């Protein structure tokens, strides 16, 4: 009985290890998603297409903004503009596989000035989500970035990812993004040791059950 209990424990541990496996991700599809390949405040960032007026990148050190990734981020209001315009933004088209789940992840903040702003995200010109951006007490350009994720099932061989300053914005609280990532979501593969433990556990359990069944069938009654 002790041996059987030990084998059950091995099997349970193996199954728990497999169950705890977390999703893995495919290759990065976004070009210059962290904006580190660009340094100009006015030129379109490498790999991207500007929608509306032409914007470049801004260095975190320019305004003392809390860094999220690297040295540069993208501001939808642009450098030197009083405030961004509704519909201004940035986009990039990547190769996808229809029916596959992808995860779009990015850091999101705002200039933290007066008014309310929003950021709208589109996949192939279809709205995927809109994020409202208010003002907190951390100071102008001092609002920390937060990580945002949107899951998307591709329906074609290419996907255009578009970020636009949303409708109904007021004041000068333009959105800011950084570390844009777009990757296929795949299932994690258990490590070889996990498979070995699982097979050992099931094999031993089977042997123990066969032995127990044999012992039971040999009992005779008067």
17: containing domain: 2-21+189-212
Q: What is the pLDDT of residue 54?
A: 79
Q: What is the pLDDT of residue 208?
A: 57
Q: What is the pLDDT of residue 10?
A: 44
Q: Residue 217, class by beta-carbon neighbours within 10 Å (0-12 exposed, 13-18 middle, 19+ buried)?
A: exposed
Angle at 183 between CA 181 and CA 184, to 5 degrees: 165
Q: What is the pLDDT of residue 105?
A: 98
Same domain, yes or no, for 57 and 119? yes
Q: What is the pLDDT of residue 196?
A: 55
Q: What is the pLDDT of residue 197?
A: 54
Mean pLDDT by 10 residues, the chain (222 residues): 49 45 87 97 94 89 96 86 67 98 98 89 97 93 97 98 80 90 81 53 58 49 42
What's the residue count for the chain?
222
Same domain, yes or no, for 129 and 175? yes
Same domain, yes or no, for 176 and 103? yes
- H helix or E strand, kind and range, residue 180: strand 175-186
Same domain, yes or no, for 15 and 111? no
Give the count of domains, the chain. 2
Same domain, yes or no, for 136 and 92? yes
List the end-to-end C-alpha distance of the chain, in Å, as a whole number.
27
Report how far residue 62's alpha carbon sits from residue 64's, in angstroms, rounded to the nearest whole number: 6
Report how far residue 51's alpha carbon sits from residue 49's, in angstroms, rounded to the nearest whole number: 7
Same domain, yes or no, for 40 and 130? yes
Report how far residue 178's alpha carbon sits from residue 57's, in angstroms, rounded to the nearest whole number: 10
Same domain, yes or no, for 47 and 66? yes
Say if 219 falls within a structural domain: no
Q: What is the pTM of this model?
A: 0.75
Report how far residue 93's alpha carbon sits from residue 125's, in angstroms, rounded to the nearest whole number: 11
Same domain, yes or no, for 87 and 154? yes
Contact 112, 146 (CB under 8 A): no
User: What crossing angle do the helices spanning 2-19 and 192-217 adopt, rounded to 10°?
Assistant: 150
Say if 89 falls within a structural domain: yes
Say if 177 falls within a structural domain: yes
Same domain, yes or no, for 46 and 11? no
Neighbour-count burial for 26-44, b at 16+ CB within 10 Å, e otherwise: eeebbebbbbbebeebeee
């Amino acid at each position: 009985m002790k041996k059987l209990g030990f084998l059950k424990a091995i099997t349970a541990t193996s199954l728990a290890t497999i169950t705890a496996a977390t999703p893995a991700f495919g290759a990065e599809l976004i070009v210059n998603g962290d904006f580190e390949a660009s340094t100009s405040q006015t030129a379109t960032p490498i790999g991207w297409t500007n929608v509306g007026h032409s914007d470049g990148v801004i260095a975190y050190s320019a305004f003392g903004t809390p860094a999220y990734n690297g040295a540069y981020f993208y501001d939808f209001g642009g450098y030197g503009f009083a405030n961004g315009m509704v519909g201004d933004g940035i986009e990039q088209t990547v190769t996808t596989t229809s029916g596959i789940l992808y995860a779009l992840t990015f850091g999101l903040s705002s200039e933290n000035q007066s008014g309310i702003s929003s950021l709208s995200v589109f996949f192939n010109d279809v709205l995927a989500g809109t994020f409202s951006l208010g003002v907190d007490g951390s100071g102008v350009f001092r609002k920390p970035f937060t990580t945002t994720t949107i899951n998307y099932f591709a329906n074609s061989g290419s996907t255009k990812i578009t970020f636009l300053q949303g409708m109904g914005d007021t004041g000068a609280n333009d959105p800011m993004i950084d570390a844009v990532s777009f990757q296929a979501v795949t299932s994690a593969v258990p490590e070889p040791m996990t498979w070995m433990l699982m097979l050992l556990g099931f094999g031993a359990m089977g042997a123990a059950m066969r032995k127990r069944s044999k012992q039971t069938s040999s009992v005779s009654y008067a």
